[in-house]
Amino acid sequence: MLENDIERILVSETEIIKIAKRLGKQITKDYQGKKPVLIGLLKGCLPFLAELIKHIDLYCEIELMGVQSYHGGTESTGNVKITKDLDVSVEGRDVIMVEDIVDTGRTITGVLDLLKYRGATSVEVVTLLDKPEGRVKVLTPKYIGTTIPKEFVVGYGLDYQEFYRNLPYVGILKQQVYKK
Ligand code: IMP
């Protein structure tokens, strides 16, 4: 049913699993001897976080944080609001933030600054998708799944008006969906 709303698939489920394996392996290598805390940004991070952690062979913790930047539409408003704060302290911790997509970079830089202010030893970003053409803030995530053009995408955690997060791939919506 949902697939009827999709114009075309941009990143398939097979490709996403391959990406998670590659990034998980890289993180495992880079954090040898450390116990990082992975902080997923709700809600979009969930499918990618779940896949990624299967491929990280470290003593790592998983935490979640709620941040809102888009308010149901397809353009960033630039307002970063914390809707669910962390339950743990990040002081002295190596933090890896897990994102579905980095577009303007406002969400991630807002959270990055906050975690550094709270005393994290290091903060890096792992994102499934990167849309560098949309960037407003200077930011290059250390771990990037794949780079995509400046198009609005849904699936694998990414939503349009809270729907489509459950699609097992990343795709572009048909224009007519926005007119509904
Ligand atoms: P940024 O603050 O502009 O980098 O946007 C990051 C957040 O905006 C992501 O975590 C998503 O929730 C949302 N976002 C950015 N681009 C898209 C998109 O193409 N589809 C769905 N959500 C998006």
User: If you take atom 11 of ligand 1, which residue's CA is the nearest one?
Assistant: 101
- % of the chain beyond a pLDDT of 90: 79
pTM score, whole prediction:
0.93
Average pLDDT score over the chain: 92
User: For residues 18 and 5, what is the distance between their CA atoms, to the nearest angstrom?
Assistant: 25
pLDDT digits over 51-67, tens only?
A: 999 999 999 999 999 98
Per-residue pLDDT reduced to its tens digit, 139-154: 899 999 999 999 999 9
Between residues 113 and 50, the one the model is more confident about: 50
* 130: annotated active-site residue: no
pLDDT at 24 over 50: yes
Choose between 68 and 133: higher pLDDT.
Answer: 133
pLDDT of residue 79: 57
Are residues 141 and 158 in contact, defined by beta-carbon separation less than 8 angstroms? Answer: no
CA of 44 to the centre of ligand 1 (A): 9
Ligand 1 atom nearest to CA at 137 = 4
Alpha helix locations (H) across the chain?
13-30, 46-53, 106-117, 175-179
From 10, 43, 68, 69, the mutation candidate for ligand 1 (largest count of ligand atoms within 8 A of CB) is: 69
Measured by CA distance, the residue closest to atom 3 of ligand 1 is 104
The atom of ligand 1 lying closest to the CA of 105 is: 4
Task: Give the least confident one: 14-18, 101-105, 121-125, 167-171.
Answer: 101-105
**Residue 75 above 60 pLDDT?**
no
Catalytic residue among 94, 100, 103, 130: 103
The rounded Å distance from CA 102 to ligand 1 centre is 6
Q: What was the pLDDT predicted at 144? A: 98
What number of residues does the chain have? 180
Atom of ligand 1 nearest to the CA of 107: 2
**What is the end-to-end Cα distance of the chain in Å, rounded?**
16
Plot region of 53 (φ>0 → left; ψ -120 to 50 → alpha; else → beta): alpha
Residue 77 has pLDDT above 50, yes or no: no
